[in-house]
Structure 1
Amino acid sequence: MTLHQFWSPIMISLQVTIVASIIAFILAISAAWLMKKRSFKGRSLIETMFLLPLVLPPSVVGFGLLVLLGQNSWFGVFIETIFEQSLVFTKGAAVVSAFVVAFPLIYMTLKSGFEQIDHEFEDAARSMGAGEMQVFWYVTLPMAWRSLITGYVLGFARSIGEFGATLMFAGNIPGKTQTLPTAIYLAVEAGNRTQAYYWVITIVIFSFFLLMLTYIVKS
């Protein structure tokens, strides 16, 4: 195994994970804030849909993405028309797969963090004339900083470890869509155990430090 072959899936994983986790983080903040503030019919249904990827088998998530965003769907055709190529078996597909599995974890963490904030501080800001966005930026977010960091780190760790949905939707193309988990799978299938060991050690060390960071933030 050359140095390029070793680093290629690692770099692709980092690129995919950074983009997916940032998008998931931004959308999860918005969703958690809106859900915290409102009570309406169908809320439980929406939240169930948000969290569904957490309990579904990764292969089901991947199949769902193929159905919803593949070449035979209207949205897949729309994407192909705009970008002049299908989303399936591209790095974009890997980003979507990582996003789908990271979003529920980030959302749960942020929603819990927002709900633990003493609402008297938010109400005090409103009584002083602050608008909802001002309350959000200057009161809610600063008071929930631990949850923000924890949520992002957990989402990042979940994204970088995504395997099943990525394999089905993005494929396992070396140098293009082959992430670290799919590279490990291919190496084991091909009998390259030494190669697999190096990648396994890499992702274990990386995940260990990410989880350790969440404990440091909470303490």
Structure 2
Amino acid sequence: MLVVPFVALLVRAPWTSLGDILAGPEVAAALRLSLVCATLATLVSVVVGVPLAWFLARSRSRLVPLVRALVTVPLVLPPVVAGVALLMALGRTGVVGRLLDQWTGITLPFTTAGVVVAETFVAMPFLVISVESAFRAADRGLEQAARTLGAAPLTVFRRVTLPLTVPALLSGALLSWARALGEFGATITFAGNFPGRTQTMPLAVYLALESDPDAAIALSLLLLGVCLVVLLCLRGRWLGGLGHGAAGELR
């Protein structure tokens, strides 16, 4: 069940024409748009997600459970439902989108910016969960020592706390990037499927299945390769986490 689909994909792959397919204008445009949007979505996730993770890990507010629930909902929410929710909130007639359109003339649905918003919505929880765990595990004795030496709170965060979370931040960002790269449901619902503007690789695969199966297989192989690279990059961290967990159980 797990191996045969991937083997079938490799067997049916058009290896002799793979380079030409990936170099085609429509495929290249989808690939370029996917890489750009996934990278921008990851950057937004880092900028918004790191302070949010710090709030969840260190705040004693009664709102923490509610905020954590809202942050993690996109992990279990069907992507199409996420796209509908974004339309209701940020669409031209949405709760926020209507005001945004009236005050600034900016509309997000069915634009490249809409792709970034949709990908950020579904990808950011991966980063927040990873970084929140790192903030919780950080040695607060180092932070207290820095404060005793006269460092300001922002300096302590920037010079002590944040460096301690770098491994978790990198792994969370990598997971967010991979999730954004493979996003389909929220993107097609909120941003549409317009070649060169909102058509990312998963959407191009979906469209190519009807007219050019070889292109669909080629793009699928490319996405599969990206997933394998991400897994290999995170392998050391996962094994290390398992090792620490086992050592903790033995102690």
Aligned position for 1:181: 202
Deviations 1:81-105 (A, max 9, x none): 4553532111111000000011111
Provide structure 1 residue ranges, at least 5 long, that are not aligned to the other structure: none
Matched, 1:40 2:40: no
8 Å contact kept, 1:105–1:155: yes
Tell me by how many angstroms 1:123 deviates.
1.2
Residues 128 and 54 of structure 1, relative CA distance in 2, 3 Å threshold: same
Give the counterpart of 1:201 among 190, 214, 221: 221
Query: SS state of the match for residue 71, structure 1?
Result: coil
In our comparison, the structure showing a higher alpha carbon Rg is 2
The match for 2:99 is 78
Q: Deviations over 1:168-207 (max 9, x none)?
A: 000111111000011111111x142101011001111112
2:193 alignment counterpart? 172
2:114 corresponding residue in structure 1: 93
Amino acid at match of 1:77: R
Equivalent residue of 1:64, what SS? helix
Q: 1:208 to 1:83 in 2, by over 3 A?
A: farther
Shift in Å, 1:211: 2.3
Q: Identify which range, 21-30 or 206-215, moves more after superposition.
A: 206-215
Quick one: structure 1 residues 83 and 160, their matched pair in 2 at CA, closer, same or farther if it must change by over 3 Å?
Answer: farther
| Separation in 1, partners of 2:222, 2:135 | 34
**CA 1:61 to 1:77, structure 2 compared with 1: closer, same or farther past 3 Å?**
same
Deviation of residue 215 (structure 1)?
2.3
TM-score (norm 2): 0.82
C-alpha distance in structure 2 between counterparts of 1:19 and 1:199, whole Å: 21
RMSD (CA atoms): 1.6
Query: Aligned ranges for residues 17-56 of structure 1 at < 5 Å?
Result: 17-56=38-77
Checking the alignment, whether the CA contact within 8 Å between 1:149 and 1:214 is kept in structure 2 is no
Q: Distance in 1 between matches of 2:142 and 2:106?
A: 50
**Who is 2:18 aligned against?**
none
Contact 1:80/1:87, CA 8 A, preserved across alignment: no
In structure 2, what is the equivalent of residue 210 of structure 1?
230
Asked whether the 8 Å contact 2:53–2:128 carries over to 1, the reply is yes
Q: Does residue 212 of structure 2 align to residue 192 of structure 1?
A: yes
The alpha carbon displacement at 1:213 in A equals: 1.4
How has the CA–CA distance of structure 1 residues 118 and 76 changed in structure 2, closer, same or farther, with 3 Å as cutoff? Answer: same
Partner of 2:167: 146
Residue 184 of structure 2 aligns with an amino acid whose one-letter code is: F
What displacement does 1:143 show?
A: 1.5
Instruction: Measure, in 2, the Cα distance between the counterparts of 1:37 and 1:132.
Output: 13
Q: Within 2, Cα distance between the matches of 1:125 and 1:86?
A: 46
Aligned twin of 2:249? none
Cα pair 1:79 1:87 within 8 Å, conserved: no
User: Following the alignment from structure 2 to structure 1, what is the Cα–Cα distance between the partners of residues 139 and 117?
Assistant: 35
Structure 2 unmatched runs, 5+: 1-20, 241-251
